[in-house]
Amino acid sequence: MAVLTDAPARPGAQAPVRHTGRPDRRRTLLLLNLVSIAAGIGLWWGLARAGLQFPTPAEVAAQAWTMAGDGTLLDDATASLGRVLAGFLLGSAAAVVVGFLMGWYTVARGLFEPWIQFFRTIPPLAMLPLVLVLLGIDETPKIFVIFLAAFLACVISTYQGVVSVERTLIAAAQVLGAKDGTIFARVVVPASTPFILVGMRVGLGSAWATLVAAELLAAQEGLGHRMQSAQLYYDLPTIFVGIISIGVLGLLMDRLLQLAGSRVTRWQEQR
Amino acid sequence: MTTKISVREVSRVFPVGRQDFTALDRVSLDIADNEFVTLVGPSGCGKSTLLNILAGLDHPTAGTALVDGRPVSGPGPERGVIFQQYALFPWLTVRQNVEFGLRTAGVGRRERRETAEHFIRLVGLEQFADALPKTLSGGMKQRCAIARAYAVDPSILLMDEPFGALDALTRVRLQEQLLATWNADRRTVVFVTHDVDEAVYLANRVIVMAARPGRVFEVVDVDLPYPRTEKIRLSPEFAALRNRVWQAVYHQ
């Protein structure tokens, strides 16, 4: 019974051969995450107490409660989210179409590439003054710069996905009788989804970054605008509420996208 | 025996920098209906290039390849191909992979399912019909690829070192299985390999190719009966044929 005597006396380690490490490690990681967050808030509290010009976490929470109560937080968040979603969805959709065209047709690649390369070097925000002049000061210019940010971040990735589809997969479809249309829909599109998703995640981050800046410059409502006006009144708790809301919303959207993505690309080999 | 495949003076030259690399130099050969032919030779002898030309995935720079008397102009479902890298669609399950060609051909759902079921059973993957390729071993992946190729009912199977990436034991098992399948349901098979044992064990006829330039070096008829068994594999006749092919491959 060498097996029994060799078995480690760890609690809960009944089957040491099977990969017990995984859930264990995940739990450890989660615990460490929580510890880290608690420590961060503790540090913040400590610094606020030590006389830095910070509001304490309690003050920020109270301010968030007030803003949630009178509806400003929800209004601002809705306004910001609406802009980001509109710009991001339009941008991603356009990026997927253009990326596929560029990957599949040499003509499209030749025509689109110089413009994309050119606009990629310009931060979308730098377009804002021009866009404001041309499109007025309502929602359109803000959504447009967010669209631009999301589109530019996602299009190259989609294009990369299309051109890096394995040749043998296309050959395999061809010898099974598939013509171009079928190959595109049933091989190229699924094979490039992991690339598109990476592009969309980058695009989402980019869209958020652009949104807040756009709202700081020109908006009547939204989280960025709220922070901007709080700055005039030296209202630090409101600024903190804004920052945290943006972070939390961005994180939530990223996680949602990641979750949807891992559903769609479950077939991928994990390396 | 009617001629199924006819290769006439086929050359394939790849431009490599300023020089040209002659992968195939005026290769001619005929393959009969339902024949099992293996192509064997050192790397660079053009055996895979020849297979790709037959598949319609590559084109000769001179000469023609005829299948059923018609020149090959592109890939088609009557010529099934099995790749060394399996080339399964990773986002589709075993069943969906096997059904791919049937769906392309517009076969109805129920018939598709039945046909797929039949070939999945034939290669012994019925327990993995709904598994994704990433969960399969190399041997299982290749069996799935074989089922997928068979499902569209090709009259020719073109196999490009299909067992090259597998361990020796799995390879022997898959050779047996391939022969059993072929015995039950004969097709014309062109099988590329660099393994002399495999070439002799499977084939009616071994075509030994030579490199620089790629050409047919020697044709060895294998007059061993089917079904081939372990007894045949260990027989002196088999050994003699293997020695002959070995000499042809390694002492060109």
In chain A, what are the domain boundaries? 57-264
Q: How confident is the model at residue A22 (pLDDT cuts 50, 70, 90)?
A: low
Touching check for B77 and chain A: CB below 8 Å? yes
- The answer to whether B152 faces chain A, any CB pair under 8 Å, is yes
From the list A175, A178, A267, the residue facing B81 with the nearest CB is: A175
Mean pLDDT, to the nearest integer, of A245-264? Answer: 90
Question: Mean pLDDT of all residues in chain A?
Answer: 85
Q: Which residues have CB under 8 Å from B43's CB, separation 6+?
A: B194, B211
The alpha carbon torsion through A38, A43, A49, A55 (nearest 10 deg) reads -70
Other beta carbons less than 10 A from residue A213's beta carbon: 17
Report d(CA B167, CA B117) in Å as an integer: 27
Mean pLDDT over A25-50 rounds to 91
B132, B149, B152: residue with CB nearest A267: B132
Verify whether the Cβ–Cβ distance B87 to A166 is below 8 Å.
yes
Distance (Å) of CA B215 to CA A74, A111, B175, B192:
76, 44, 26, 14
Min Cα distance B239 → chain A (Å) is 36
The H-or-E segment that residue B124 falls in is none
Pick from B83, B104, B148: which is nearest to A178 by CB? B104
Is residue A8 pLDDT above 80, yes or no? no
Q: Report yes or no: B74 at the A interface, CB cutoff 8 Å.
A: yes
A263 touching B (Cβ < 8 Å): no
Sign, CA torsion B134/B137/B143/B149: positive
Question: What is the pLDDT, as a whole number, of residue A21?
Answer: 54
* CB proximity list for A12: less than 8 A, separation 6 or greater: none
pTM, two decimal places: 0.79
Contact A267 B92 (CB under 8 A): yes
Is the pLDDT score of A16 beyond 70?
no
Is B109 inside a domain boundary? yes
Q: Is A168 on the interface with B (CB under 8 A)?
A: yes
Asked if B169 and B137 count as a contact pair (C-beta separation under 8 A), the reply is no
For chain B, what is the domain count? 1
What number is the ipTM of this complex?
Answer: 0.89
pLDDT digits (tens, 9 = 90+) for A51-106: 887 888 888 999 999 999 998 899 999 999 999 999 999 999 999 899 999 988 88
Look up residue B52 and give its amino acid. Answer: N
Tokens at residue B25, please? 């130099």
- A169 inside 8 A of chain B by CB: yes
Residue B137 domain flag: yes
Averages of pLDDT over each 10 residues, chain B, 252 residues? 91 89 93 95 91 95 94 93 93 96 92 94 91 93 93 94 89 90 89 94 95 92 90 93 93 78
The CA distance from B39 to the nearest CA of chain A, in Å, is 20
First to last CA, chain A: 37
**A181 close to B (CB below 8 A):** no
Question: Any chain B CB within 8 A of the CB of A190?
Answer: yes
Q: Is B37 contained in some domain?
A: no
Q: What is the pLDDT of residue B71?
A: 94
If you count residue pairs, one on A and one on B, with CB atoms under 8 Å apart, how many are there? 71
Q: Which residues on chain B are in Cβ contact (under 8 Å) with A171?
A: 55, 57, 75, 81, 83, 87
The CATH superfamily assigned to A57-264 is MetI-like (1.10.3720.10)
Residue type at position B36 = F
Structural domain for B142, as ranges: 88-153
Q: Which string of DSSP letters, residue by residue, matches B55-117?
A: HTSS--SEEEEEETTEE--S--TTEEEE-TT----TTS-HHHHHHHHHHHTT--HHHHHHHHH
Asked, for residue B112, whether it belongs to a domain, the answer is yes
Contact predicate B151/B98, CB 8 Å: yes
- B196 within domain boundaries: no
Q: Which of B90, B91, B152 is the closest to A176 by Cβ?
A: B152
| The token pair that represents B197 in the structure block | 């044992």
Question: What are the beta bridge partners of residue B66?
Answer: B6, B71
Following CA atoms A135, A139, A142, A143 in sequence, which dihedral angle do they give, to the nearest 10 degrees? -100
- A171 vs B91: CB contact, 8 Å cut-off? no
d(CA A117, CA A152): 9
| Interface contact A176, partner B, CB < 8 A | yes
Burial of A150 (0-12, 13-18, 19+ CB in 10 A): buried
Choice between B162 and A10, residue whose per-residue pLDDT is larger: B162
Q: Is B189 left (phi over 0), alpha (psi -120 to 50) or beta?
A: beta
Average pLDDT (A9-29) is 59
* Domain-located, residue B103: yes
Nearest CA in chain A to B152: A176
Q: Searching chain A, which residue's CA lies closest to the CA of residue B90?
A: A267
Please check the confidence at residue A7 and state whether its pLDDT lies above 60. Answer: no
Tokens (6 digits) for B148: 């997928």
Which backbone phi and psi does B49 adopt, to 5 degrees? -60, -45
pLDDT at B248: 92
Task: Sort A29 into a burial class: Cβ within 10 Å, 0-12 / 13-18 / 19+.
Answer: exposed
CB contact under 8 A, B57 and A182: no
Q: Which residue of A has its CA nearest to B132?
A: A267
From residue A129, alpha-carbon distances to A110, B27, B95 in Å are 29, 68, 56
Better-scored residue on pLDDT, B69 or A269: B69
